[in-house]
Amino acid sequence: MVRADVQVYQLKITLQEIEPAIWRRLQVRRQVRLDRLHLMIQAAMGWTNSHLHEFLIKGQKYRDLEQMYEDIDEPDMNNEEEFRLAKLVGEGDVFEYKYDFGDCWQHEILVEDLIEPEPGIKYPRCLAGERACPPEDCGGLWGYEELLEALGDLEHEDYEHYRGWVGEDFDPERFDLKAVNMALRRV
């Protein structure tokens, strides 16, 4: 029997309201603090940690300390550095991670499984995923849909503008598991 403090959660993180879905399957130590989980989500999804974020777990909000001071009048606000995932959720639970309050990227996180760590494996790690994350500051869901529409048509009046902005190598269908795991190692 493995001690509970070294067990691993398998999480499925899905960016909401986008079809086909953009998602990642991560394995993280059960005792991870929420501030560290935030950085892991950023790395796995491909965000750049350039905006505010919050977790919503069972009706309670968790944010970073600096952000909490800005929103001191919210009574249900908690410092994410003081909470470990294991104390808040269990297998089968679903919670929310919001990133960039302007673009309002909502992520659903499902705790799919609680597993024993594999010998020789470093956590966190990404097992799978689909599609690239939307570019930062693209205008949320509607801006991203507009961007995809323009990039999907070489004759679109805004094609050159968007291609220049996101770069020649942006492919919304690409998911690079190796690159995600390299990013997770840097967390």
Task: Please indicate, yes or no, whether residues 165 and 180 belong to a single structural domain of this protein.
Answer: no
Q: Return the pLDDT at 47.
A: 96
CA distances from 1 to 82, 100, 117 (A): 28, 41, 11
Domain around 58: 4-134+173-185
In 46-153, which residue ranges form alpha helices assigned H by DSSP? 65-70, 85-88, 140-151
Q: Give the separation between CA 55 and CA 109, rounded to whole angstroms.
A: 10
Q: Which residues of the chain have pLDDT under 70?
A: 1-5, 67-76
Task: Please indicate, yes or no, whether residues 94 and 157 belong to a single structural domain of this protein.
Answer: no
- Give the chain's domain count: 2
Task: Please indicate, yes or no, whether residues 140 and 85 belong to a single structural domain of this protein.
Answer: no
Task: Please indicate, yes or no, whether residues 121 and 157 belong to a single structural domain of this protein.
Answer: no
Q: Return the pLDDT at 78.
A: 92
The total of other beta-carbon atoms located within 10 Å of residue 81's CB is 14
Q: Which are the contacts of 18, defined by CB distance < 8 A and separation ≥ 6? A: 134, 141, 144
In the chain, which residue ranges form alpha helices assigned H by DSSP? 34-45, 65-70, 85-88, 140-151, 159-166, 177-185
Task: Please indicate, yes or no, whether residues 38 and 15 belong to a single structural domain of this protein.
Answer: yes
Q: Give the separation between CA 60 and CA 9, rounded to whole angstroms.
A: 20
Task: Please indicate, yes or no, whether residues 126 and 140 belong to a single structural domain of this protein.
Answer: no
Task: Please indicate, yes or no, whether residues 129 and 45 belong to a single structural domain of this protein.
Answer: yes
Q: Return the pLDDT at 65.
A: 78
Task: Please indicate, yes or no, whether residues 85 and 69 belong to a single structural domain of this protein.
Answer: yes
Q: Return the pLDDT at 155.
A: 94
Task: Please indicate, yes or no, whether residues 103 and 114 belong to a single structural domain of this protein.
Answer: yes
Are the C-beta atoms of residues 133 and 46 closer than 8 Å to each other? Answer: yes
Q: Return the pLDDT at 74.
A: 66
Provide the CATH number for the domain around residue 30.
Answer: 3.10.290.30
pTM: predicted TM-score of the whole model, two decimal places: 0.92
Q: Which are the contacts of 27, defined by CB distance < 8 A and separation ≥ 6? A: 8, 9, 10, 11, 115, 123, 124, 125, 126, 127
Task: Please indicate, yes or no, whether residues 105 and 84 belong to a single structural domain of this protein.
Answer: yes
Task: Please indicate, yes or no, whether residues 122 and 142 belong to a single structural domain of this protein.
Answer: no
Task: Please indicate, yes or no, whether residues 129 and 66 belong to a single structural domain of this protein.
Answer: yes
Are the C-beta atoms of residues 94 and 110 closer than 8 Å to each other? Answer: yes
Q: Return the pLDDT at 71.
A: 58
CA distances from 135 to 34, 41, 167, 187 (A): 24, 15, 10, 20
